[in-house]
Amino acid sequence: MGKIKRRILVLPVAAVIIAAMIAYKSTRTYPKQQAVATTEKRPAPLFEALDSYNRLVKLSRYIGRHRIFLAFFDESLGPENDQLLLTLRENFPQLETNDIVVIAVSKRLPQENRKSFEKVGRYPFPLLSDPGLDVHRQWGCVDAATSEPIAALFLIDRAGNVEWATEGPRRLAEPIQAIRLLAVE
């Protein structure tokens, strides 16, 4: 008989607890939550360009198979002095282990890139030539005021998508840090 009385009391006690919780929650004020910024991703603009040995390289070849670091480097410094390229080269074995492909693009002609190999050796990833800046424009890497190329780094995911800003693909804010982080992933 004692067990039945206890069971009968459970329902009213539970109802009182639930009513108290509802009263507490409905009378309490909460700070407004800020909206979480979402990043829009879109398909990466595809292109073709010649590498240092005049072979045609197509970005589409890597889409769906690998993550891709797409680097636009400062041709005035050359591959032998550009910090972005040197960091990519230094971290390339780890990036390759993590299934990340590296492609570098500049305004330099293929023979100019080959000539720099005499100073620092070949690069383990393709250095593509874009003398007309067509690829640079597709990726938003041309200064509107001076029409000069802009150095930048982009990360394309395995599905072929890149983060997007209103004006086009979004450059990585801290490229050297991004390279090092993905190298140790």
User: Whole-angstrom Cα distance, residue 5 to residue 98?
Assistant: 65
Q: Are 68 and 158 in contact (CB under 8 A)?
A: no
* pTM > 0.85: no
* The pLDDT of residue 117: 85
If you count them, how many residues does the chain have?
Answer: 185
Amino acid at 1: M
Looking at per-residue pLDDT, the higher value among 18 and 102 belongs to 102
How far is C-alpha 57 from the chain's CA centre?
Answer: 21
Q: Which two tokens stand for residue 183?
A: 């190298």
User: Whole-angstrom Cα distance, residue 74 to residue 143?
Assistant: 13
CA distance to 41, 42, 135, 140, per residue, from 165 (Å)? 9, 10, 17, 10
Using only the alpha carbons of the chain, give its radius of gyration.
27
Amino acid at 182: L
User: Whole-angstrom Cα distance, residue 47 to residue 126?
Assistant: 14
- Going by pLDDT thresholds of 50, 70 and 90, the confidence category of residue 2 is low
In CATH, what number does 41-183 get? 3.40.30.10
* The pLDDT of residue 17: 86
- Going by pLDDT thresholds of 50, 70 and 90, the confidence category of residue 3 is low
Task: Read off the pLDDT of residues 42-77 as tens digits, 9 standing for 90 and up.
Answer: 999 999 999 999 999 999 999 999 999 999 998 888
* The pLDDT of residue 121: 85
* The pLDDT of residue 21: 81
User: Whole-angstrom Cα distance, residue 59 to residue 103?
Assistant: 9
* The pLDDT of residue 6: 65
3-class DSSP assignment, residue 145: coil
Task: Read off the pLDDT of residues 108-141 as tens digits, 9 standing for 90 and up.
Answer: 999 998 888 888 888 999 999 999 999 999 999 9
Domains of the chain, residue spans: 41-183
* The pLDDT of residue 116: 86
| Other residues' Cβ atoms within 10 Å of the Cβ of residue 106 | 29
Report the percentage of the chain scoring pLDDT > 90: 63
The answer to whether residue 22 scores a pLDDT higher than 70 is yes
Q: Is 91 exposed, middle or buried (0-12, 13-18, 19+ CB in 10 A)?
A: buried
Q: Are 71 and 141 in contact (CB under 8 A)?
A: no
* The pLDDT of residue 46: 96
